[in-house]
Amino acid sequence: MGKLTFRRKKKSVPPTLPPPPPAIDPSITTTKASAKKKAVGSRLWMRMDRLGQSELIECDKSVIIKRVSIPARDLRILGPIFSHSSSILAREKAMIVNLEFIRAIVTAEEVLLLDPLRQEVLPFVDQLRRQLPQKTSQDNEMQSATAGEWLAAPETVDSLQDELPFEFQVLEIALEVVCTYLDSSVAELERDAYPALDELAISVSTKNLEQVRSLKSNLTRLLARVQKVRDEIEHLLDDNEDMAQLYLTRKWIQNQQAESFDHASNSIVPGAPHLRRLNSARSGSLVSNYLNDQDVEDLEMLLEAYFMQLDGTRNKILSVREYIDDTEDYVNIQLDNQRNELIQLQLTLTSASFAIAVETGLAGIFGMNIPCTLYNIDGIFGEVVGLMTAVCVVLFVLVLGYARWKKLIGS
């Protein structure tokens, strides 16, 4: 018998699984997603303070809302949807300005300008940098006076009354830049419109008509833009309460005074109570005119000046449109006159055709092969032709005379 061989059975080794992938930290993912979202929603702003110091910042809506304390819906007014609208809105601590290409948020201490690198916005930025630093000395005196120091002389209050608050300085510069831009646009429109209209009055052609049509479209759009700014200023002038809400510096001073008075009342020296009260009464009487909530004379005078300027710009546009309407009426009169001349020519030709048709009919009658004694008379052809021609001429004259009698054609 052969030997039995026993083979040792190999142990089965389970297949090795690949190591699991490392767990992704959710905080990193959230951070990257939020950074990407922030980069997408960020917009370019320029911040400028009272001293004229400016800086470019890129931030999203949440940062702006937290900085100026406005509702999120107010930022939609500065968005592209309302880019062609005009509005000046007052909030608790800010003023929303959307005038043509100027979209800004103004507070009592700074102004935030959206898209400051646009070609139309650069003049506004230059005006801010040039004019704001010249008007800060009296503002500093006002801040120091309201921070707890009593005013020493009435002249300081008079200077405060003469000086416009910071927000109105920005608003004045914005209105000046917008009105200047609209005036230049109207001047350019006038420079192009009058020669084109005179050319159309001389020669009515397709090219001239197309050019006038384009000018009329530009005039309509420009009139709408001027009308929007004018209506917004008129709306503010009609409501004193809205104008009072735009006094951001006044509200800021009142808050500062309230805090300083509360602090002063808690730290009054018992030895001299009458002196503190006297100084407080004097200071309150001096600053009362400046802090009067119902005093909107400064803003009213400012808005009325630019309202009159916009009204003059609007009148210029209406004058151009009136000139266009007059030119169109003149062109229509010319076309009607030419149309009447064509009708008269057509009537004359129709009368001549009728007279010739009568002669042609008579000639056709004599051209028939019908026996007639007139064929045997010598020289009768010329007499018959002359007679038929004379009859046709008389008929033609009678038709024209009847048309003149009925005033169908001119004399």
Q: How far apart are CA 199 and CA 202, in angstroms?
A: 5
Report the first-to-last Cα separation within the chain, whole angstroms. Answer: 152
- The kind and range of the H/E element at 54 are strand 54-59
Q: What is the pLDDT of residue 322?
A: 94
Rg, C-alpha atoms of the chain: 44
Residue 411, pLDDT > 70, answer no
User: Which residue in this structure is represented by tokens 């602090």?
Assistant: 263
Among the listed ranges 160-164, 357-361, 370-374, which one has the minimum average pLDDT value?
160-164
Q: Would you place residue 7 in the very low, low, confident or very high pLDDT band (cuts 50, 70, 90)?
A: very low
Q: What is the pLDDT of residue 267?
A: 55
Q: What is the pLDDT of residue 266?
A: 58
For the segment 76-104, the average pLDDT, to the nearest whole number, is 84
44-67 confidence digits (pLDDT tens): 999 998 888 889 988 888 888 888
> Any residues with CB less than 8 A from the CB of 296 and at least 6 apart, and which?
240, 243, 244, 247
361-381 confidence digits (pLDDT tens): 888 877 777 777 777 777 777
Q: What is the pLDDT of residue 400?
A: 86
Q: How far apart are CA 28 and CA 38, in angstroms?
A: 15
Domain annotation for the chain: domains and CATH numbers:
38-119 (2.40.128.330), 120-333 (1.20.58.340), 336-405 (no CATH)
Q: Would you place residue 11 in the very low, low, confident or very high pLDDT band (cuts 50, 70, 90)?
A: very low
Q: Give me 190's structure tokens.
A: 């006038």
Tell me the average pLDDT of the chain. Answer: 77
Q: What is the pLDDT of residue 223?
A: 94
CA distances for 178 relative to 19, 59, 120, 175, 400, angstroms: 67, 26, 10, 5, 65
Residue 174, pLDDT > 70, answer yes
What phi and psi, each to the nearest 5 degrees, are found at residue 54?
-130, 160
Percent of the chain with pLDDT over 90: 29
